Amino acid sequence: MFNRYVSVFASALLGAVLSVSVAAQSSPALIPAAPDIAATSHLLIDAKSGKILAENNADQQLPPASLTKMMTSYIMSYEIARGNVNPSDMVKISKNAWAQNPVFRGSSLMWIEVGTEVSVEDLHRGVIISSGNDATVAVAEHLAGSESAFADVMNQHAQVMGMTGTYFVNSHGLPADGHVTTARDLSILAQHIINDFPEDYKLYSERSYTYNGIRTPNRNSLLGGQLGVDGLKTGHTSEAGYCLVTSAEKNGMRLISVVMGTESPRARQVESSKLLNYGFRFYETPQLYKAGEQLTEAKLWSAVRNSVRVGVAEDVFVTIPRGSRKDLQASMTLDKVIRGAITEGQTLGELEVNLGDDNIVKLPIVALESIEEAGFFGRLIDAIKLFFMQLFGAI
């Protein structure tokens, strides 16, 4: 049960200083409906807070085409980070990964040749920038022995990420029965790429890549424009239509948009732009607290110290209507009696942030340090003090 309560006004909240205050009266921010999007499925999400700003059919399972390669590139980064492969490792190109493989006819390629050796680093660019189907097969065979085994690895990663509507059959996204994903799942994957491997994410912003004397352009035509787009991936097959996952950052706010099943390259660009413009125009995402930053101290009994520093375990971002930051209110409740040994990270209360009647954040308040239990006499003295304070209603 909690009974220690503190209210926070926006200015104090943004400075991570808890104090008692009364919220000022102000006019509510007015947000128009999200734009109509000419796509089979779409979603717009804030990458830092996870708040969904617009969606339609976001859980409909659809063929992802080359958006599949986002998972292939993620696994490459994952294996490099774990030390299982090195960017300088050389990969022998099989007939399956040969650019002249008839399976790849008419599709995007890195233009690698059978029997040659290509570095992992070059293949990584070939997957992300060139969207090379040949490069993805070379990666799959190098990392897992075969493309079918690599698909199993892809599905394992998808499961760990919580991509519940996704099932991969191959590494590249060419049509295959049962090879599906959703707009929501792709937004989850994009968040992992951005947050887990920020250095590798920079590859998605490169405009072109030249290998074997052949220059291949990055097909994400929104890169480098006024919207601040710096990734991620295009996709197209006759079955999937024209698809695009983008991420853009402006003034510290990062958005991820997903459009699937548009009718042309131009359409996927226009519809993605509409989503991003809407998000940046009408919302903002301030950071309220930093992980590990002290918010206050909690009274501690039967310990070698009489107080413990408390805060939040993770950075706290909230996505709110633009201009409504001053209307945020936060409250913190701490356990009624905190006693004995304390372990860093131990939950000692709860933090809530509200905007009007809407609760937008609820997360635990944790100890920022470990503190040992007091000796016998210290525990005895505090036990007596607590007895009489509770007896007279002081706690």
Residue 19 has pLDDT above 50, yes or no: no
Which of the 8 DSSP states describes residue 264? Answer: S
Alpha-carbon distance of 244 to 265, in angstroms, equals 9
What pLDDT, on a 0 to 100 scale, did the predictor assign at position 26? 53
Q: Locate CATH 2.60.410.10 in the chain.
A: 2-27+287-391
What pLDDT, on a 0 to 100 scale, did the predictor assign at position 39? 98
Which amino acid, residue 79?
Answer: E
Superfamily in which the 41-262 domain is placed by CATH: DD-peptidase/beta-lactamase superfamily (3.40.710.10)
pLDDT class of 226 with cuts at 50, 70, 90:
confident
With 0.85 as the threshold, say if the pTM is over it: yes
Which amino acid, residue 177?
Answer: D
What pLDDT, on a 0 to 100 scale, did the predictor assign at position 215? 95
CA angle 385/344/376 to nearest 5° reads 35
The per-residue pLDDT for range 90-108, each reduced to its tens digit, is 999 999 998 888 888 889 9
The per-residue pLDDT for range 244-292, each reduced to its tens digit, is 999 999 999 999 999 999 999 999 999 999 999 999 999 999 999 999 9
Per CATH, domain 2-27+287-391 is 2.40.50.140: no
At residue 373, φ and ψ (nearest 5 deg) are -70, 150
Residue 12 has pLDDT above 70, yes or no: no
Q: Which of 110-114, 166-170, 342-346, 387-391 has the lowest mean pLDDT?
A: 387-391
Residue 382 has pLDDT above 80, yes or no: no
Residue 8 has pLDDT above 70, yes or no: no
What pLDDT, on a 0 to 100 scale, did the predictor assign at position 357? 86
Asked if omega into 348 is within 30° of 0 (cis), the reply is no
Where in the sequence numbering do the catalytic residues fall? 66, 69, 131
Cross-strand partners of 309: 297
Residue 9 has pLDDT above 50, yes or no: no
